Chains A and B, each alone.
Chain A
Amino acid sequence: MSGKSDKGDGMIDLIIDDRECRAPRGSTILEVCRAHGIDVPTLCYDERLAPYGGCRLCLVEVEGARGLLPACTTEAEEGMVVRTSTEQVESARRTSLELLVSDHPMACTGCSKSGNCELQRLAKRYGIEESRYKGEKHEYPVLRDNPFILRDYNKCILCARCIRICREVQGVGVYDFVNRGFAAVPGTPYDRPMVETPCEFCGQCISTCPTGALTARPFEERERVWKREMARSACAHFGVSLDEMMEALGVEGWKVRTTCPYCGCGCQLDLSVLDNRVVEVSSPVMVGPGQGNLCIKGRFGQDFIASSDRLTTPLIRRDGEFVEASWEEAIEHVTTRLREIRDRSGPDALAVLASARITNEENYMLQKFARAVLGTRNIDHCARLCHAPSVAGLAQTFGSGAMTNSIDDLEEADAVLIIGSNTTETHPIIALRLKKAVMEHDCKIIVADARRIRMCYFADKWLRQRPGTDVALINGMMNVIIEEGLFDREFIESRTEGFEDLKKAVAEYTPERAAEITGVDADLIREAARTFATAERAAIVYAMGITQHTTGTDNVIALADLAMLTGNIGREGTGVNPLRGQNNVQGACDMGALPNVFSGYQSVTDPEASRKFARAWGVESLPQQVGLTVTEMMDAALRGEVKGMYIVGENPMMSDPDIRHVEEALRSLDLLVVQDIFMTETARLADVVLPAASYAEKEGTFTNTDRRVQRVRKAVEPPGDARSDLRIIADIAEALGYSMPAREAEEVFREMASLTPSYAGITYERLDAGETIHWPCPEEGHPGTPILHKEKFTRGKGAFIPVEYKPPAEEPDDRYPLVMTTGRVLEQYHTGTMTRRVPGINEIDPANRVWISREDAEAMGISDGDLVRVSTRRGDIEAEARVTRKMPGGLIFIPFHYSESPANRLTVGRIDPVSKIPEFKVAAAAVSLVRKSAGGNGSGNGSGEGRPGGGE
């Protein structure tokens, strides 16, 4: 059939089942059907995947076409006449289904997929209980070769969704069909156990499997959930889905939509709850930043909620020991001591650490508590340790310190510079979008990273710069772009200022000079610069590898300069995109849990803003000086200037640099109050420990890395006497004589929005209705702002600021000949408080390992698995060596998740002068052998290369 031309609007008209349907040109028949509510059965279809046409259930009749056509792979055309349920169509579907059922165990009452099984649903619909086709059935062993994914290929219908999602979405390709004909089945290379494949245990395959072939072991095997099994079994009896069954039983709310508490991607989760326990985790398809995809932490890392280690009662230290206390006692104790310190030494002797993990409402309440109730100017949180330079650098150049573009539009980029971001491990879901851009439209990725990270496999160019030389590298690229006339003259002229200064400064950074500093080949710098500058849409993605330096702010400014130089701001698929590491670090900054600003970045030194907040909070005045930062608070504590600290949901004893120094500081305090969900390394030093509710136990909002404000909803009750941070803070404020009328999350949000222009138009009502809103959203009807600086920069004109290369604070010498860098691994999260309490995760990643290059290891006589000692000027730790070619010579890498060998005992306390971020990424270190490993090769996987994908 030849398509007639459309009407110029890109839309076509066709008739399906006698209905006139209008759809965008290029849609498949299936897409048109779905858009018009016409039900066409499918088994191999998933919106996240390219059409496959394998299951033959979506066959439809198209007038004039020979035979039946699969709706999922046939493009809809102008004037087509389609019928989706003629006798011939239904008979063909029935036959296909019977063939599938003939080799599928139909004992649904015992199957864990019952009620969620697409085959079960269709078999019911077509009234098929048994197949007319009798023949040989497969008998495969059930595979439990890893802690997460159970594979029972007896239930497989060969739809290839697992194979395709692993390849098309995850970009890994663990599975493929092995064998041919009747023996064909999805499998791993050489039938290796999954832990020996590149599997990243994201569980995307489980999420797409239409039958019970792939199921999640942690949700099925940890303990029996008899009510769930009863309900599933009833689904088989009554022929309904599990959600329908639960609705019928009056428990519609058993699935709670909320936001993942791990990294800043902000994936949406559905927590299934029975008997006050989260029994399953899934993600809604095509909703939120993840679109139904999750990573190992999001999908399998929620066990910490019900951990028996949770704090359940307030603890007060008496004679050196923690003693259980009632809330009344604890609040009385805390308020008395806070008052004492304030009366004796003034309010600035108190300091508050807010948290990037708790909700916006709680952070807002905390800064209000600090400023209005305690009257101290000292409030900060761990954003200081991650993206303070982004806030400072981007505010200077653009006028707003957040990710300029949305996660969704990263997919549109033609080139992406990924610098200092191990995206697949620290922001796995954003990495999926970048991989998609590569796989779908040949986006050119430039990775700048000293380590051979997973993204290198998707990269067009890989620049392996020496740690701490980013400014030289970026200046070198800008030198080439200016030299070769590849810059965007029109953008520079109309949108920016200061270009001449930049031009002058980067003229010094010829590729040859940059090569000398960075160790990257001069021609490679040239090529990378050309690729970036000539792309129609080029985006920059960065993270801690850029910011955690004494030149962090300079690094960020250089990237902003590069984006402006090439006109890559304000459009889809462009921008400067700092990936924020924690679920609500963006929100905690937005809420004013910073020493210099109120919510919405309104300066505390601005008398008008100060008056506005003082009036709203019912106090005479608020501290008008900028307070101390995290790093400065510790120094001030040591000097005896800060005497009392109130820490909520932070663990500086693991996350801050040079933790021996932190310990001294915290021990020298007169009062340390820690409010957390676990007895963290920091809480152990506290005078009072207050048990808090986890994200699954309270209402609120998180703001993810792309400024998307999303709801957090209560799924279960907090354990024991644990209470939400909101309630604890309000109770303490009231005990101090301050009235907190807004105590519920929604009321607090409303108060915050009324004082915060960028959140002013956001309401719970809009969020609960399913709207996606990125701030700024200045008024109720405003749709939000996924892309910043579209017409003009927040500050008016974008400011080019030239920056010069400065060497890191500490460079290798004879005694400490190696450079040490720190970071995260995919499986673990931050200080390990949550992920290290997840059994499956600790099965595949049990302990810390020091990554070291083959050449260095050989020179020192170290083999993979040997126990080594790493020392720096601050201290030393012991851990197993992981000898890997992912590391260049002269560099070692240590993840900071493990309390038994904490990387931050080694890091440098020296800070960036502007943003006060410490230099986590560079320290001079020495490695020595402690003990050869017993079995030749060490733990883990027999080789330091480990699993090619996961654990990289």
Chain B
Amino acid sequence: MKEKVAGAIRQALESGRAGAVLFLAEEEGKLIPRLVRDAGDPAIERAYVGDKRFPASAFAAISLPAVDGVLAVVGRECDRRMMNELAKLNHLDLERVLLLGIPCSQELADACGCDHPVPPEPVAEAEVRPAEALDAPSRSMDIPERLAYWMDHFSRCIRCYGCRNSCPLCVCKDCALEREELAGKDCFPPDIPVFHIIRALDMADRCIDCGICELSCPADIPLRELYREVRGLFKEHFGYEPGISAEDRSPLSFLGEAADLGAHE
């Protein structure tokens, strides 16, 4: 796998398909993203293909202005979905990025409860089955129980904003979570459950379930479960699932064709 990924990086640079490649490298026992512009760069040998992930699309958005031409990114299916969403938010030009897709391991897929562990046209084939969805303890609870469940989790929040800050798709300049009138000021835990519900709703049409938020949360709040539930509702009511394609627009991002504002004047 490692050789194939290194080979794909070199090939992308040598063929001129990409002006630079971004991947995760293993250096002195530490992982760090690495951008290379030269097929002879020794960092390519250190390309990492293990189970640790990084939000490749957000890093691509940071690197892209410094790259001439196309930026190839070594990433997974969820990175492809992130890129689609970032493109819809006008933060990434899909014409200038290219995914060198790698499959996830079975263990990673199972741990994520991921039904899409293999990206289209991966640089290396792998036998990975889509995983079973993860348990959602809250789903089987009745409403008062469910409220108590979430309130208990939310009460641990220290309002560090780690969930938002690490999220590759939380891109707003003006953030509702910082609005005093919506989320209180500097109080921790924040005025619950408003804080987390605002974010859950904002993520409903863009979260692609990469899980970086939950990884970042120092209070171990099961954020993926929360966002998955909201996303599930969104899919149920609107038939929309973020990330799958770059063309589908979120039902929240445009007015329906039938909308007739004139009727309200």
Interface residues on A, range: 35 or more
- Are A250's CB and B166's CB within 8 A? no
Supposing A110-B160, A110-B165, A251-B66 touch, asked if A224 and B173 sit within 8 A by C-beta, the answer is yes
10 A-B pairs in the complex with CB atoms less than 8 angstroms apart:
A109-B166, A226-B171, A230-B62, A233-B166, A233-B216, A237-B215, A238-B32, A238-B54, A250-B66, A251-B66
- A275 within 8 A of partner (CB): yes
- A720 within 8 A of partner (CB): no
Bound Cα distance from A494 to B210, whole angstroms? 80
A854 CB → nearest B CB, Å:
40
- B174 within 8 A of partner (CB): yes
A716 CB → nearest B CB, Å:
11
Q: In chain A, what residue has the closest Cβ to B169?
A: A226
- A239 within 8 A of partner (CB): yes
Bound Cα distance from A244 to B34, whole angstroms? 10
1/0 per residue, CB under 8 A from A, across B29-66: the answer is 01111110100000000000000001100110111011
Q: In chain B, what residue has the closest Cβ to A238?
A: B32
Bound Cα distance from A238 to B65, whole angstroms? 23
- B67 within 8 A of partner (CB): yes
1/0 per residue, CB under 8 A from B, across A881-898: the answer is 000000000000000000
1/0 per residue, CB under 8 A from B, across A207-236: the answer is 000000000000001011111011111101
- Are B174's CB and A109's CB within 8 A? no
> Cβ of A275: which chain B residues have Cβ within 8 Å of it?
65
In the complex, how many residue pairs between chain A and chain B have their CB atoms under 8 Å apart?
108
> Cβ of A248: which chain B residues have Cβ within 8 Å of it?
32-35
- Are B62's CB and A111's CB within 8 A? no
- Are A237's CB and B54's CB within 8 A? yes
A113 CB → nearest B CB, Å:
12
CB within 8 A of A110: which of B32, B59, B162? B162
- Are B162's CB and A223's CB within 8 A? no
Bound Cα distance from A373 to B161, whole angstroms? 59
A contact residues vs B (CB 8 Å cutoff): 105-111, 141-142, 144, 221, 223-227, 229-234, 236-240, 244-246, 248-251, 253, 274-275
Q: Which of A141, A144, A240, A250 has the most CB of B within 10 A?
A: A250
Bound Cα distance from A253 to B34, whole angstroms? 15
- B261 within 8 A of partner (CB): no
* CB under 8 Å from chain A, chain B span 168-190: 168, 170-175, 178, 186
- Are A224's CB and B162's CB within 8 A? no
CB within 8 A of A231: which of B35, B62, B171? B62
Bound Cα distance from A246 to B161, whole angstroms? 21
> Cβ of A106: which chain B residues have Cβ within 8 Å of it?
218
B25 CB → nearest A CB, Å:
8
7 residue pairs, one from A and one from B, having the closest CB atoms: A110-B160, A250-B35, A109-B162, A110-B162, A107-B160, A107-B218, A110-B161
CB within 8 A of B22: which of A107, A229, A249? A249
Q: In chain B, what residue has the closest Cβ to A227?
A: B62
CB within 8 A of B174: which of A223, A233, A244, A246? A223
B85 CB → nearest A CB, Å:
13
- Are A250's CB and B162's CB within 8 A? no
A926 CB → nearest B CB, Å:
48
Bound Cα distance from A249 to B73, whole angstroms? 11
- Are B161's CB and A142's CB within 8 A? no
- Are A239's CB and B30's CB within 8 A? yes
- Are A107's CB and B20's CB within 8 A? no
> Cβ of A274: which chain B residues have Cβ within 8 Å of it?
62
CB within 8 A of B186: which of A107, A142, A246? A142
CB within 8 A of A105: which of B35, B160, B171, B178? B160
- Are B63's CB and A251's CB within 8 A? yes
Supposing A230-B55, A230-B62 touch, asked if A238 and B166 sit within 8 A by C-beta, the answer is no
> Cβ of A226: which chain B residues have Cβ within 8 Å of it?
170-173
CB within 8 A of A224: which of B32, B35, B172? B172
> Cβ of B55: which chain A residues have Cβ within 8 Å of it?
230, 234
Q: What's the dominant secondary structure at chain B's contact region? A: mixed
- Are A232's CB and B33's CB within 8 A? no
> Cβ of B175: which chain A residues have Cβ within 8 Å of it?
224
- Are B218's CB and A234's CB within 8 A? no
Bound Cα distance from A740 to B62, whole angstroms? 38
> Cβ of B62: which chain A residues have Cβ within 8 Å of it?
227, 230-231, 246, 249, 251, 274
A216 CB → nearest B CB, Å:
16
Bound Cα distance from A237 to B217, whole angstroms? 11
CB within 8 A of A230: which of B35, B67, B168? B168
- B246 within 8 A of partner (CB): no
Bound Cα distance from A329 to B19, whole angstroms? 39
Bound Cα distance from A510 to B10, whole angstroms? 86
- Are A238's CB and B168's CB within 8 A? no
- Are A238's CB and B33's CB within 8 A? yes
* CB under 8 Å from chain A, chain B span 12-26: 20, 22
- Are A234's CB and B59's CB within 8 A? yes
- Are A107's CB and B162's CB within 8 A? yes
Bound Cα distance from A109 to B164, whole angstroms? 9
- B158 within 8 A of partner (CB): yes
Bound Cα distance from A223 to B30, whole angstroms? 32
CB within 8 A of A234: which of B54, B65, B186? B54
Bound Cα distance from A231 to B62, whole angstroms? 8
Bound Cα distance from A142 to B174, whole angstroms? 20
Supposing A230-B168, A233-B216 touch, asked if A238 and B61 sit within 8 A by C-beta, the answer is no
Bound Cα distance from A791 to B33, whole angstroms? 57
CB within 8 A of A233: which of B34, B63, B165? B165
Q: In chain B, what residue has the closest Cβ to A254?
A: B66
A640 CB → nearest B CB, Å:
53
B18 CB → nearest A CB, Å:
12
A223-B173, A248-B34, A251-B63 are known; give 13 further A-B pairs, CB within 8 A.
A107-B158, A109-B166, A110-B161, A224-B174, A224-B175, A226-B170, A226-B171, A226-B173, A233-B166, A234-B59, A237-B166, A248-B35, A253-B66
- Are B186's CB and A240's CB within 8 A? no
> Cβ of B32: which chain A residues have Cβ within 8 Å of it?
238, 240, 244-245, 248
Q: In chain A, what residue has the closest Cβ to B33?
A: A248
Bound Cα distance from A238 to B179, whole angstroms? 30
B109 CB → nearest A CB, Å:
21
- Are A230's CB and B218's CB within 8 A? no
> Cβ of A107: which chain B residues have Cβ within 8 Å of it?
158, 160, 162, 218-219
